[in-house]
């Protein structure tokens, strides 16, 4: 949520910052700004996309070897030129970019107004800029001391990069609950809220920890921390990220690229973990907690958005295969509900970004209660991966499209492997079923390829429904979360109102909506509730609804009833969500494109929600 980029070194900063903002735009895109330090500070900001900022800056002074840039997702104050970052303090001494929320900003603002400060924007960030300046002037301290002192008065979350026009040789960065990465070059440093703007310059990075402050000159980096428990020695890590992974590689949108990447991303998720030769699943990140997992009385899954849907699939898998009780909760509900946590419980947090504020808070709460917390994350080194006791990376590669696709199937793949591992460890799964399941899981990427080959047919179906206003998605059992996910995909990128429902629940409400204009997407693959779902299809048809059915290859029964059918290869019922979610992603994608929507950057959404 919001993207931060900074540069200090011998290059011209502007091209680095502009390119960085374009790479980060998926994190927020309602306004953008750049400040360059070149003797004086030149500050440019504009409501709208980064391209609008670029056009605005064209022909203006862009010189300077030090600079900061920001792309915003509004929290305090509407999207506007004034509310865009960077924000400059009243006397022009400090210019800052900020991700996160300053919770006590109203109180701080009031105190600053009493000291004669006035404000141009509605943001909490401008309050922080003025607070730092006020401390700097009134206490006559250095810029870094002013930052430290000001932050000690702040309640909230921040990733910050700060320039001081009196101390022109440095950038100051600070982090609390909002990620910041520093890339290390030769006499130059790059800063960003994630590694995507850094990777083309260097693969050596330092992830700041909570309460770290970095003072960065072009040839020196000093790290300070107010944490009691840590050394000040920066941990330099090597990025495992290729530039091609963050480019569109010929696809029209990141979302389409990521949908088509799924055979590869799922293979990456089980590479080295699913061992057909020895019929084993090895999840290295869980070795230390293996016994605890087998003994768990209850698993509580916490997540948000699409990751929550993956959690619901996990509930079916853990209960069915591993016979352990599972609860799945929205992290935002869990954290404020005073949940009952027992010693034998295990909390599993699922998050693509590893930065979602509510999921992080839920983890903290579970930890405070003494519960073991495991993470399933995509972004290596992310906050959630560091805050959990153990976990498994999904290794799906960077997901840039705001609507999550390959992260979902990677999360479900990890959950499947975990459920199988526990089931086997507890002696609950017959060897033949286990081996069949392993082979079926191994075959999923190839089966997804066969679904992707039907893209032209899916485009034709999407074309028929691109102008509808509502849609219903139905599924039973493990296909119910797939229905929820299909509906979420459609609504978030095409702005069509869509609802996912357990098919049998349709009779208790949504059936009233069905008429000849209502498309109903039914996940009707062959499993033990197949006959029931056939009845549900008939109920929709009896009310003239239009049925688009996702069926198992060769199904003739539903073909005879539904208006449109998309066939997916047969698989083990436990794995079907990995296949049935693919056509739903494609339907949503094509409808959104046909409606002229910005698929990769849907309105009001952000990829990584680092505020609650």
Tokens of 31: 């306004």
Question: In which residue are the tokens 């084993």 written?
Answer: 280
Contact map string, positions 340 to 369, toward ligand G6P, x by CB under 6 A: -----------xxx--x--x----------
When binding is defined by CB under 6 A, the residue of 306, 332, 385, 552 that contacts ligand G6P is 306
CB 410 → ligand G6P: shortest distance, Å? Answer: 11
Among 198-206, 251-259, 302-310, 524-532, the segment contacting ligand G6P (CB under 6 A):
302-310
β-bridge mates for residue 54, sequence order? none
Residue closer to ligand G6P, measured from CB, 317 or 609: 609
Among 146-154, 171-179, 269-277, 397-405, the segment contacting ligand G6P (CB under 6 A):
397-405
CB 414 → ligand G6P: shortest distance, Å? Answer: 13
CB 596 → ligand G6P: shortest distance, Å? Answer: 20
**195 CB neighbour count, 10 Å cutoff:** 25
Residue closer to ligand G6P, measured from CB, 105 or 334: 334
To the query of whether residue 49 is one of the catalytic residues in this protein, the response is no
Residue closer to ligand G6P, measured from CB, 89 or 411: 411
Signed CA dihedral, 227, 229, 230, 231: sign only: positive
Give all strands (DSSP E) within 126-228, no chain letters: 158-164, 167-176, 181-184, 189-192, 204-207, 212-217, 220-225
Kindly name the residue from 2, 164, 377, 597 that is annotated as catalytic.
2
CB 310 → ligand G6P: shortest distance, Å? Answer: 8
Q: What angle do CA 357, 236, 173 make, to 5 degrees?
A: 55
Residue nearest to ligand G6P (CB): 305
- Number of helical H runs and strand E runs in the chain: 18, 26
When binding is defined by CB under 6 A, the residue of 94, 607, 610, 611 that contacts ligand G6P is 607
CB 392 → ligand G6P: shortest distance, Å? Answer: 14
Instruction: Specify whether the CB–CB gap between 302 and 349 falls below 8 A.
Output: yes
Q: What angle do CA 252, 183, 259 make, to 5 degrees?
A: 25
Residue closer to ligand G6P, measured from CB, 534 or 605: 605
Q: What is the CA radius of gyration of the chain?
A: 25
CB 309 → ligand G6P: shortest distance, Å? Answer: 8
Instruction: Give dist(CA 487, CA 500) in Å, integer.
Output: 5
Closest CA to 501 of 488, 510, 512: 510
Residue closer to ligand G6P, measured from CB, 305 or 500: 305
Residue closer to ligand G6P, measured from CB, 46 or 607: 607
Give all strands (DSSP E) within 194-323, no chain letters: 204-207, 212-217, 220-225, 237-238, 274-275, 280-281, 298-303
CB 599 → ligand G6P: shortest distance, Å? Answer: 13
Contact map string, positions 420 to 459, toward ligand G6P, x by CB under 6 A: ----------------------------------------
Question: Beta strand pairing status for 158-164 and 167-176?
Answer: antiparallel
Tokens of 550: 């996702």
Closest CA to 204 of 174, 177, 234, 224: 234
Among 178-186, 249-257, 311-319, 604-612, the segment contacting ligand G6P (CB under 6 A):
604-612
CB 349 → ligand G6P: shortest distance, Å? Answer: 8
Closest CA to 105 of 89, 129, 86, 81: 129
Among 233-241, 401-409, 463-471, 513-521, the segment contacting ligand G6P (CB under 6 A):
401-409
Instruction: Give dist(CA 518, CA 195) in Å, integer.
Output: 43
To the query of whether residue 2 is one of the catalytic residues in this protein, the response is yes
Residue closer to ligand G6P, measured from CB, 143 or 400: 400
State yes or no: residue 304 binds ligand G6P (CB under 6 A): yes
Residues between 169 and 228 that touch ligand G6P (CB under 6 A): none
Tokens of 134: 């006020």
State yes or no: residue 305 binds ligand G6P (CB under 6 A): yes
Residue closer to ligand G6P, measured from CB, 359 or 371: 359
3-state secondary structure of 302: strand
Among 136-144, 165-173, 249-257, 402-410, the segment contacting ligand G6P (CB under 6 A):
402-410
* Order of strands across the sheet that contains 3-8: 40-47, 31-38, 66-72, 3-8, 189-192, 181-184, 204-207, 237-238
Residues between 88 and 147 that touch ligand G6P (CB under 6 A): none
Residue closer to ligand G6P, measured from CB, 371 or 610: 610
Question: Beta strand pairing status for 372-377 and 345-351?
Answer: parallel
How many positions of this chain bind ligand G6P (CB under 6 A)?
16
State yes or no: residue 410 binds ligand G6P (CB under 6 A): no
Instruction: Specify whether the CB–CB gap between 72 and 79 falls below 8 A.
Output: yes
When binding is defined by CB under 6 A, the residue of 131, 135, 246, 402 that contacts ligand G6P is 402
Listing DSSP states for 458-503 in one string gives HHHHHHHHTT-SEEEEEE-TTHHHHHHHHHHHHHHHH--EEEEEEG
User: Which residues are annotated as catalytic?
Assistant: 2, 607
The contact set with ligand G6P (CB under 6 A) reads: 304-307, 351-353, 356, 359, 402-404, 605, 607-609
């Amino acid at each position: 949520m919001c993207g931060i980029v900074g540069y200090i070194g011998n290059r011209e900063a502007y091209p680095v910052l502009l390119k960085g903002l374009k790479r980060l735009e998926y994190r927020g895109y309602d306004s953008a700004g750049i400040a360059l330090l070149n003797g004086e500070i030149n500050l440019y900001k504009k409501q709208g996309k980064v391209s609008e900022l670029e056009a605005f800056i064209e022909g203006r002074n862009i010189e300077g070897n030090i600079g900061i840039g920001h792309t915003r997702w509004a929290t305090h104050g509407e999207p506007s030129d004034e509310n865009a970052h960077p924000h400059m303090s009243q006397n022009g001494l400090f210019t800052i970019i900020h991700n996160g929320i300053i919770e006590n900003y109203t109180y701080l603002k009031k105190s600053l107004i009493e000291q004669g400060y006035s404000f141009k924007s509605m943001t909490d960030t401008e309050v922080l800029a003025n607070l730092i300046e006020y401390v700097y002037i009134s206490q006559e301290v250095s810029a870094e001391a002013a930052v430290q002192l000001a932050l000690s008065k702040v309640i909230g979350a921040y990733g910050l990069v700060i320039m001081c026009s009196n101390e022109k040789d440095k950038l100051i960065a600070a982090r609390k609950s909002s990620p910041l990465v520093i890339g290390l070059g030769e006499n130059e440093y790059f800063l960003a809220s994630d590694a995507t703007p850094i990777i083309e310059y260097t693969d050596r990075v330092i992830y700041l920890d909570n309460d770290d402050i970095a003072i960065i000159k072009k040839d020196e980096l000093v790290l300070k921390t107010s944490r009691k428990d840590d050394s000040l020695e920066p941990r330099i890590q090597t990025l495992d990220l290729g530039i091609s992974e963050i480019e569109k590689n010929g696809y029209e949108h990141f979302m389409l690229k990521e949908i088509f990447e799924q055979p590869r991303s799922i293979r990456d998720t089980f590479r080295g973990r699913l061992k057909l030769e020895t019929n084993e699943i090895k999840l290295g990140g869980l070795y230390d907690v293996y016994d605890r997992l087998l003994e768990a009385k209850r698993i509580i899954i916490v997540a948000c958005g699409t990751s929550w849907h993956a959690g619901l699939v996990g509930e079916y898998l853990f209960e069915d295969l591993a016979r352990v009780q599972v609860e799945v909760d929205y992290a935002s509900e869990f954290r404020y509900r005073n949940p009952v946590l027992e010693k034998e419980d295990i909390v599993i947090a699922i998050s693509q970004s590893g930065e979602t504020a509510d999921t992080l808070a839920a983890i903290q709460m579970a930890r405070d209660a003494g519960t073991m917390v495991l993470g399933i994350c995509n972004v290596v080194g992310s906050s959630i991966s560091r805050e959990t006791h153990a976990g498994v990376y999904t290794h799906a590669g960077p997901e840039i499209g705001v609507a999550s696709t390959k992260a979902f199937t990677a999360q479900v793949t990890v959950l499947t492997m975990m459920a199988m591992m526990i089931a086997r460890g507890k002696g609950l799964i017959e060897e033949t079923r286990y081996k069949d399941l392993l082979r079926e899981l191994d075959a999923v990427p190839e089966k997804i390829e066969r679904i992707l080959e039907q893209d032209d047919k899916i485009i034709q179906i999407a074309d028929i429904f691109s102008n509808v206003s509502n849609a219903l998605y139905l599924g039973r059992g493990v296909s119910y979360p797939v229905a929820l996910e299909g509906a979420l995909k459609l609504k978030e990128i095409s702005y069509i109102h869509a609802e996912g429902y357990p098919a049998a629940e349709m009779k208790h409400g949504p059936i009233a909506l069905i008429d000849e204009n209502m498309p109903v997407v039914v996940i009707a693959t062959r499993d033990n509730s197949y006959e029931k779902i056939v009845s549900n299809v008939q109920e929709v048809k009896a009310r003239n609804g239009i049925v688009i059915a996702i069926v198992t290859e060769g199904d003739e029964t539903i073909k005879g009833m539904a208006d449109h059918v998309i066939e997916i290869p047969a698989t083990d019922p436990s794995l079907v969500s990995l296949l049935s979610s693919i056509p739903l992603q494609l339907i949503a994608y094509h409808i959104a494109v046909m409606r002229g929507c910005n698929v990769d950057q849907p309105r009001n959404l952000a990829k990584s929600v680092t505020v609650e």
